[in-house]
């Protein structure tokens, strides 16, 4: 066991965990943040996507030791008041069906928009190809990403 | 191979007899070139193996598996720096070590810095393709093509031959090839033998197969 210190959604946390324990389970079991989901445990489905120093990572295969000294952002920390452009767009377009994959979808989408303000459909095809949705919400995800880009660019107004 | 060398030696001796000597240096150079080419062909068994080819693809995305197929169902792109793009960069899934189990992401750490763990990149994976400007393609390269490419500093990342030997000897990404994780095969010769052959190729004059 080791003490691992990192910033979680803007606050410093210290966890006692085996350094190899996947960050997904530290978040869910040790820290009680269950917004990040387990889908495959193999970095294939994207349900577990969170941000590590503003980069999207797959927490189901990321050892908690990798978070040492870094900033972790989960779906719970994407914004304080549901006012992140991705969250607003997701609500406006009513993307989710069962909702299980959506935290990972939104975290990936937020990462895309942080890197490219107006992604093309081809960019979205590429960038979101690692997030699977059995309900097939892909068309709405695409619309919502474009809508989030508009909101972030000031075309959406405040809620 | 020995038969070829003997025929070559006999021919050369005949030429020397006809020309009245002075060809000892020529003979030595030719023998070195033959050794160099032979050493490179041994090293080529590694360069052309999936453990190397999969991250030195001809296209814009990595390959995987013993059959060097496209990497899962992801629409991966190299990106300008070879690290990938958006939410599916290489380091988003790959870690500083192999993840246990079949079909789990392999991984490698940053190289040591001054003989010790690089603290600036502690725990970070170093898993990437060559950058777009110097893709360092190994996929479907003929031995002579790859040989000349490895010697071309405009195409090999600016490495001198000595640095190339250091790279294959110490780089964790290269070493990973012989510790590839469950379900993946290592190259057909040992890492030590591979480095020895690359060094031999360099030492014998770096001649390339035709």
Tally of structural domains, chain B: 1
Of B75, B96, B105, Cβ closest to residue A125: B75
Subunit contact B86:A65, Cβ cutoff 8 A: no
Contacts of residue B139, defined as CB under 8 A and 6 or more positions apart, other chains included, come to: B53, B56, B57, B58, B59, B63, B68
Of A65, A126, A131, Cβ closest to residue B123: A65
Q: What is the pLDDT of residue A45?
A: 96
Q: Does residue B173 sit at the A interface (CB-CB below 8 Å)?
A: no
Is B2 among the domain residues?
no
Q: How far apart are CA B23 and CA A74, in angstroms?
A: 74
Pairing of strands A49-52, A55-58: antiparallel
Subunit contact A68:B123, Cβ cutoff 8 A: yes
Q: Give the mean pLDDT of chain A.
A: 95
- Is residue A34 scored above 50 in pLDDT? yes
Note down pLDDT in tens along chain B; length 210 residues.
555 555 555 555 555 555 545 577 777 778 889 999 999 999 999 999 999 999 999 999 999 999 999 997 789 999 999 999 999 999 999 999 999 999 999 999 998 877 777 888 888 999 999 999 999 999 999 999 999 999 999 999 999 999 999 999 999 999 999 999 999 999 999 999 999 999 999 999 999 998
Show the tokens assigned to B102.
């079949």
Q: What is the CA radius of gyration of chain A?
A: 15
**Chain A positions in Cβ-Cβ contact with residue B91 (cut-off 8 Å):** 55, 57
Domain ranges within chain A, ordered by starting residue: 2-77, 85-152
- Could you please report the per-residue DSSP string of B130-184? PPTTS----TT--HHHHHHHHH-TTTTTS--HHHHHHHHHH-HHHHHTTS--TT-
Subunit contact A68:B122, Cβ cutoff 8 A: yes
**Chain B positions in Cβ-Cβ contact with residue A125 (cut-off 8 Å):** 75
Subunit contact B86:A58, Cβ cutoff 8 A: no
Q: What is the pLDDT of residue A157?
A: 45
What's the pTM value of the predicted model, to 2 decimals? 0.88
CATH class label, A2-77 = alpha beta
Which CATH number does A85-152 carry?
A: 1.10.150.120
- Is residue A22 scored above 50 in pLDDT? yes
Is B62 among the domain residues?
yes
Pairing of strands A11-17, B63-64: unpaired
Provide the residue range defining the domain that includes B43. 32-203
Query: CA B106 → CA A144, B93, B109, B113, distances in Å?
Result: 33, 9, 11, 22
């Amino acid at each position: 066991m080791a003490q691992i210190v990192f910033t979680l959604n803007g606050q410093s946390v210290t966890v006692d965990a085996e350094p190899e324990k996947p960050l997904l389970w530290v978040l869910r079991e040790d820290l009680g943040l269950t917004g990040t989901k387990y889908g495959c445990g193999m970095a294939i489905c994207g349900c577990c996507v969170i941000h590590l120093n503003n980069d999207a990572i797959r927490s189901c295969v990321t050892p908690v030791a990798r978070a040492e000294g870094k900033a972790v952002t989960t779906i719970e920390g994407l914004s304080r008041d549901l006012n992140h452009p991705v969250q607003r767009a997701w609500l406006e377009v009513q993307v989710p069906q069962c909702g299980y994959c959506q935290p990972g979808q939104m975290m990936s989408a937020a990462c895309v928009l942080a890197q490219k303000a107006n992604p093309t459909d081809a960019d979205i095809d590429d960038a979101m190809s690692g997030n699977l949705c059995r309900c097939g919400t892909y068309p709405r995800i695409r619309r919502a990403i474009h809508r989030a880009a508009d909101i972030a660019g000031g075309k959406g107004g405040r809620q | 191979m020995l038969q070829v060398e003997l025929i070559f030696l006999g021919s050369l001796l005949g030429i020397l007899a006809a020309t009245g000597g002075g060809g000892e240096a020529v003979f030595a150079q030719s023998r070195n070139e033959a050794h160099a080419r032979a050493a490179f062909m041994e090293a080529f068994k590694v360069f052309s193996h999936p453990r190397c080819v999969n991250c030195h693809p001809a296209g814009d995305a990595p390959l995987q598996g013993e059959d060097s197929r496209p990497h899962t169902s992801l629409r991966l792109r190299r990106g300008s720096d070879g690290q990938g793009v958006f939410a599916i960069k290489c380091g988003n899934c790959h870690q500083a070590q192999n993840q246990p189990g079949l079909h789990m992401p392999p991984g490698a750490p940053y190289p040591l810095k001054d003989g010790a763990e690089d603290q600036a990149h502690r725990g970070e994976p170093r898993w990437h393709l060559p950058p777009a400007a110097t893709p360092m393609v190994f996929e479907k390269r003929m031995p002579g093509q790859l040989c000349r490419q490895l010697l071309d500093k405009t195409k090999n990342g600016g490495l001198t031959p000595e640095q190339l030997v250091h790279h294959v000897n110490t780089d964790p990404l290269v070493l990973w090839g012989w510790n590839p994780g469950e379900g993946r095969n290592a190259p057909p010769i040992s890492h030590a033998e591979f480095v020895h052959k690359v060094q031999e190729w360099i030492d014998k004059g770096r001649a390339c197969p035709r």
